[in-house]
A = this chain, B = another copy of it.
Amino acid sequence: MKCACKGAFLERFIQPSILMSLYAGDLHGFSIIRKLKESGPIDYVGMDPTGLYRMLRKMEKAGLLTSAWKTEGSPQPRRIYSITGEGRNCLSYWERTLREYARSVSGLSEAVTMSLSHAGGR
């Protein structure tokens, strides 16, 4: 279950976001982008689509997703992604990781606030 839970900023947010989107049903890359931009706790507005597409290919390679081309119903052929069993396991793993991660960030946030108030505006 190598879910790349270690990794960079975008990876930490985009990978679980993708898995979450696909957990509810199959989607193609462009609609994932739209979905993430419209809703969700993270601000994806202005995000580079290239990065997301590359992440999708990477996750497929890692066995978390599978894909199939669909040519009808749109001007451009679309690559439809589905989550695999491994991908669902990975999402569970992310659930735990993100919880810890949220705690860490909250902790740091509070520590900064504390230090600013305690040190008494030197």
Q: How far is the CB of A2 from chain B (nearest CB, A)?
A: 18
A and B contact pairs by CB, cutoff 8 A, 28 listed: A8-B8, A8-B9, A9-B12, A16-B108, A20-B115, A23-B115, A24-B115, A24-B119, A40-B108, A40-B111, A41-B104, A41-B106, A41-B107, A41-B110, A41-B111, A42-B104, A42-B108, A43-B104, A92-B116, A95-B109, A98-B108, A98-B112, A101-B109, A102-B102, A102-B105, A102-B106, A102-B108, A106-B106
Which residues from 48 to 70 on chain A have a C-beta closer than 8 Å to any C-beta of chain B?
A: none
C-alpha spacing A5/B43, complex, angstroms: 15
Bound-state Cα–Cα, A23 to B111, Å: 12
For this chain, the copies found in one complex come to 2
Interface size on A, residues (CB 8 A): 36
**Residues 81-122 (chain A) with a chain B CB within 8 angstroms:** 91-92, 94-95, 98-99, 101-113, 115-116, 119, 122
Provide the bound-state CA to CA distance between A24 and B112, in Å: 11
What residues of chain B lie closer than 8 Å to A122, measured between beta carbons? 23
In the complex, which residues of chain B have a beta carbon less than 8 angstroms from the beta carbon of A13?
108
